[in-house]
Amino acid sequence: MPAYNAGKTLKTTYEEIPFDIVDEVVLVDDASRDKTVEIARALGVKHIITHTRNRGYGGNQKSCYQKALALGADIVIMVHPDYQYTPKLIPAMSHLLASGLYDVVFASRILGNGALKGGMPLYKYLANRILTFIQNLLLWQKLSEYHTGYRAFTANVLKTIDLEHNSDDFVFDNQMIAQIFNAGFKIGEVSCPTRYFADGSSISFQRSITYGLGVLATSLRYLLHKWSLRKDPLFNTNTQTKTDSTHP
């Protein structure tokens, strides 16, 4: 759970986690200015990491995944503690990975046509659709959206791609996707209810523009790398890890 000022929504999110299949919860607090850490401790979260300075959304995720792998996780699911995504989808997402059908599963707000009804601002919806269309063309894929923050991974995926090379900012998510496709992993999607409300986290319009430009730059980097026009260190992989773990 990558947390930043999630004190008002953490308890609601945490209480929806299906602990009959979830073994460990890792919360990384990115120098919040509220009582996120105190609330997490009161809820009984065992694995809490606190950043003394704000490292950004990508930097937060790096700490989350490092700790999850250190705990020996087979499946790692990122769910935001701001309650924009319900943890009730964890069993479905886990099953798709445990069954071997996919290596990664995204919870899509676009599947099911509920994004606008759930409160997604129109400009964000349009930007999502436009960016996703362009990304599908450049990456030669067919995802319903590239911008969900609700994602599930096998440990093999996280061990194979070079997360530390990625940005510490919001574009981290899309760099991960490009790395996942470059490494040959399969991504599946499930429909996810959309929730936008006052206490949910969101980025400003200006930051959204910066994010969008970063997304396009990442897709172009992927294309140039795939066409062997520019060898990009973003797409370095631990191929030995991938080969060993896919053939037990």
193, 118 Cβ separation under 8 angstroms: yes
Q: Per-residue pLDDT averaged across 26-33, rounded? A: 97
pLDDT at 173: 96
**Cβ atoms of 59 and 95 closer than 8 Å:** no
Per-residue pLDDT band for 197 (boundaries 50, 70, 90) equals low
Q: Is the pLDDT of residue 76 over 90?
A: yes
* Enclosing domain of residue 73: 2-245
In three-state secondary structure terms, 74 is coil
User: Which of 103 and 202 is assigned the larger pLDDT?
Assistant: 103
pLDDT tens per residue across span 59-69: 999 999 999 99
How many percent of the chain have pLDDT more than 70? Answer: 93
207 or 94: which leads in pLDDT: 94
Residue 202 vs residue 143, higher pLDDT? 143
**CATH number for the domain harbouring residue 103:** 3.90.550.10
Please classify residue 38 by burial: count the beta carbons closer than 10 Å to its beta carbon, then call 0-12 exposed, 13-18 middle and 19+ buried: exposed
Average pLDDT over residues 78-90: 95
Quick one: tokens of 150?
């609700």
- Is the predicted pLDDT of residue 239 greater than 70, yes or no? no
- Domain count for the chain, please give it: 1
- Euclidean distance between CA atoms 189 and 136, whole angstroms: 15
pLDDT band at residue 196 using 50, 70 and 90 as cut-offs: confident
Distance CA 184, CA 193 (A): 29
What pTM was computed for the model?
Answer: 0.90
